[in-house]
Amino acid sequence: MEQQQAIHLLDLIRRNMESCIFGKKDEITWMLAALAAGGHVLIEDVPGTGKTQMVKALARSIGGAFHRIQCNPDLLPTDITGVSIYHPKQEQFVFRPGPIMANVLLADEINRATTKTQSALLEAMEERHVSVDGVTYPLPRPFVLFATQNPIEFDGTYSLPEAQLDRFLMKISLGYPDEASEKRLITEPGASRSADALTPVASVEDILDVQKATEAVHLESSVADYLIALIRGTRKHPAVLLGASPRAGIALASCAKAFALLGRRAFVLPDDVKAVAPHVLSHRLYLRSEARMQGATTASVLQEVLRQIPVPVGMER
């Protein structure tokens, strides 16, 4: 698929999602960027802001298999991956797939599941397969996980392990709709269609081609140097205990390429890197306790790093 075709396809998906999601253009852009980059998304927000509706709308738009997991402390790893059950007639164990066998998987309130259950997703997120009873089963392609998370101060929540957080391409927050959109939702109940009523405008095979087109977006050497300088700058900041990993650099490059494609360009600009950096890096940084006590946040630290790193001026296209 050529990049112009990929751009057209992403526009079709965007318009389809916007037909049932009001006032969330930026958030839809981030979700499409993650889809094009083939990465997973952590959505942190309070209940009732439309997280499930948005993910379902994306799955319906691409005609992919969609499954939803409601996480809670009683959830077991096999409830996600599947389980082998002995079949008396066949006299052998038969694998019964779990909900993870989907193109788009929604793990709702992921931080209400125990850390043992959360860890069941690690292999799937990184290697795109699961292992049950010593047998490896590949996941459908494409496979994208959208996990929602309540703010950590809520009752009954568990912090996500650092290794799992690092496997999310980006972290976003939907927030409340603007006043006009919220009024429209209340006064025009029929204006917003349910995501279940959406008609697919693309196929999962199309998405695989879009991901290949995203990989082909040009990342010029000076922009790559700028990107690496940002990653290394997070590690040197005095307020940071644990900076961005090499995986974070790969994620930042992939997301910048996807954002450039959504901007109808076949090359990455430094502005693309700056735009996606807060969403790609914020959940990967761990601040020193004394810095947090002084009011520092990952967002403020990232802004400092972005201000300190000079932006390349000359670029070859």
**174 in Cβ contact with 129 (< 8 Å):** no
Three-state SS for 27? helix
Q: What span, in angstroms and rounded, lies between the C-alpha atoms of 301 and 236? A: 11
Phi first, then psi: what are they for 231, rounded to 5°? -60, -50
Question: Residue written as tokens 């931080």?
Answer: 111
* pLDDT value of residue 152: 58
Any bridge partners for residue 242, and if so which? 286
Cα-based distances in Å from 206 to 31, 62, 115, 255: 16, 8, 35, 19
Walk along the chain (317 residues) and give the pLDDT tens digit of each residue. Answer: 688 899 999 999 999 998 888 878 899 999 999 999 999 999 987 777 678 888 999 999 999 999 999 988 888 888 999 888 888 877 788 888 999 999 999 999 888 888 788 878 888 898 899 888 888 899 999 999 999 887 655 556 667 778 888 899 999 987 777 788 777 777 776 555 677 788 999 999 999 999 999 999 999 999 999 999 999 999 999 998 888 999 999 999 999 999 999 999 999 999 999 999 999 999 999 889 898 888 888 899 999 999 999 988 765 54
**277 in Cβ contact with 226 (< 8 Å):** no
* pLDDT value of residue 157: 67
* pLDDT value of residue 150: 74
pTM to 2 decimal places? 0.88
**150 in Cβ contact with 157 (< 8 Å):** yes
- Cα 201 → chain centroid: 21
Q: Which among 305, 279, 298 has a CA at the least distance from the CA of 37?
A: 279
Q: What span, in angstroms and rounded, lies between the C-alpha atoms of 141 and 152? A: 32
Q: Which among 79, 84, 83 has a CA at the least distance from the CA of 118?
A: 79
At position 31, the amino acid (one-letter code) is M
* pLDDT value of residue 193: 61
* pLDDT value of residue 222: 94
